[in-house]
Amino acid sequence: MAASDPTPEQRIATLEERLAYLEFTQEEQARVQAELQQENQALTRQIEWLHGRLRALEAAAGDGSAGGQDIPEPPPPHY
């Protein structure tokens, strides 16, 4: 064993530190993934609402029922 080789205690401490970092990283990745899934669901709901609103406006414009008037509308779900 060379003089620069770590002692068993130093090696254990290094491995424990690496393990703690990996555990933290996994927890952080899981947290970020859960956040992204929630944001994705919210965006999907907004897109569905916008598609529905667009179809309604196109239908109203197609049959002339809008009459050029502003149609009051509720805000999208994210507001």
Domain range for residue 37?
7-57
**Using CA atoms, how far apart are residues 44 and 50, in angstroms rounded to an integer?**
10
* Joined tokens for residue 26: 């996994």
The confidence band for 31, taking pLDDT boundaries of 50, 70 and 90, is: very high
pTM (predicted TM-score): 0.58
Residue 24 has a CB neighbour count (10 Å cut-off) of 10
33-78 tens-digit pLDDT: 999 999 999 999 999 989 999 999 999 888 765 555 565 666 666 6
Q: Tell me how many domains the chain contains.
A: 1
**Residue 73: which residues within 8 A CB-CB, separation 6 or more?**
53
Rounded-to-10 torsion of CA 59, 61, 66, 70: 110
3-25: average pLDDT: 95
Asked if residue 18 is part of any domain, the answer here is yes
How confident is the model at residue 11, as a pLDDT? 97
Asked if residue 76 is part of any domain, the answer here is no
For residue 1, pLDDT over 80 is answered with no
The DSSP letter of residue 77 is T
Asked if residue 32 is part of any domain, the answer here is yes
